[in-house]
Each structure stands twice: as structure tokens, then as C-alpha cells.
A = this chain, B = another copy of it.
Amino acid sequence: MKEIEQRLSDNGVRPTAMRLLIYKYLAEKETATSLTDIEIVFAKAERTTLYRTLRTFEEKKIVHQIDDGTGIQKYALCEPGCDCSLEQDLHLHFHCNNCDETVCLTEHKIPHINLPEGYVTEDANLVLKGICEKCSGH
């Protein structure tokens, strides 16, 4: 818990009890997390608090937001030292059509694409959809 406290402080986020718990939950989870997921786990807490916690984490680069095409915003912890706003740190995400979970594939960066003149790329999102390793049985 001490390390988490440190991590939050380092990123300019006051380490409150709630925030530590949410961080811990995200750290233990292997898949991307929606607000609703967290809401269910921390049923006692206020929706808004959880919502704002995630937003704060995102602003302070502790988590990155994931758009996996389900229409529901998901979040996952950033790797230490990763700056998800930089093109070279953009990795792809995999959404399983079977278990409905989304995972970060941080090893797989989004390939650079050459666009016609005039287009300036600032950000990119690549989501692959299919069956994940757990569901395919490998």
C-alpha cells in the first residue's frame, strides 16, 4: 500500500483511502475496467466519486482511457514511465466477443500509417475484436 501511496503522490494525486482502494483494484485486475465494474465492487461508495477518481487518474496519467467499441468507457493502469499521449506509447487493445473483456496488449504498438498530405495525426486507436486466449482455450 505504501508503494501505491507513493505512486499517487508522484503523479500529483492526493492518496485518499478511496483512491488507494481503486488503484489497488485496478492493479490486481488484468482487464480494462468500466465505471460500472468499479461501482459494483465498491457498492458503498458514491458513483460520482468513483467517476471523478477515474477522471483524476486519467488527467494525471495514472490510467489511460480505452475505447473498445462497446460504447462504454474503460480504464486501465498505465505502465510506469509510459506516456499514453505520445504516439510511440500507443498500444493496441483486444476486445473478446465471448467474455466481453478488453485487455491491453502493451507489447503491440500501433503501426505508423502514412496519410495523404494535409492530414496531421495526433492520436490513434486500434482495437482488435475476436476471441481471447482464455476463451479460445489456449
User: What separation, in Å, do the CA atoms of A115 and B108 have in the docked complex?
Assistant: 8
User: Which residues from chain B contact A123 at a C-beta distance below 8 Å?
Assistant: 97, 128-130
Contact of A131 (CB < 8 Å), options: B71, B73, B120? B120
Q: How many residues of A contact B (CB 8 A)?
A: 35
Give the top 6 A-B pairs by smallest Cβ distance, nearest first. A118-B133, A118-B138, A122-B130, A123-B129, A120-B131, A121-B130
Q: A: which residues have CB within 8 A of B?
A: 67, 69, 71, 73, 92, 94, 97, 105, 108, 110-111, 113, 115-134, 136-138
18 A-B pairs in the complex with CB atoms less than 8 angstroms apart: A67-B67, A67-B71, A94-B115, A97-B122, A97-B123, A105-B115, A108-B115, A110-B126, A115-B128, A117-B138, A118-B133, A118-B137, A121-B128, A122-B130, A124-B127, A124-B128, A124-B129, A125-B129
